[in-house]
Amino acid sequence: MSLNKNLEKYWKKLESDPEFVAEGILIDILENILEIMEKKNISKADLAKKLGTSKAYVTRLFHGTPNMTILTLAKLAVALEVDIEAPKFIWNKPDFEKWSTKLNLFVSEKEDKTKIEECSYDCSHAA
């Protein structure tokens, strides 16, 4: 079986898994926050100060917990002085290409080492 077929097999298995979808949403949110921080020249230490928390807490946020609360998101928006919009439910399947790199992150937590290595190769070479 080709490497892309292996990736497609994993994708079909995970595309309807709420944990996988949650990981993808969280990655999108964290990427957006990091982009804003970079544009505003705000470090994690600066953000911690604005939030009234420790730098360790901010670091834990960026290591991704899918259970980030709406209140935490609101606090981040206030600290970064940006608006936040409520997510909208849109009926469409996620784009395979967009999510293929996210698949690697999720599979690495769910599968054994052999499958992780296969997915790592597939994800980095998906075209």
Extents of the domains making up the chain: 3-125
Calculate the dihedral angle through the C-alpha atoms of 111, 102, 32, 48, rounding to the nearest 10 degrees: 20
Q: Give CATH for domain 3-125.
A: 1.10.260.40
pTM for the full model? 0.62
pLDDT digits (tens, 9 = 90+) for 21-61: 888 888 888 899 999 999 999 999 999 999 999 999 998 88
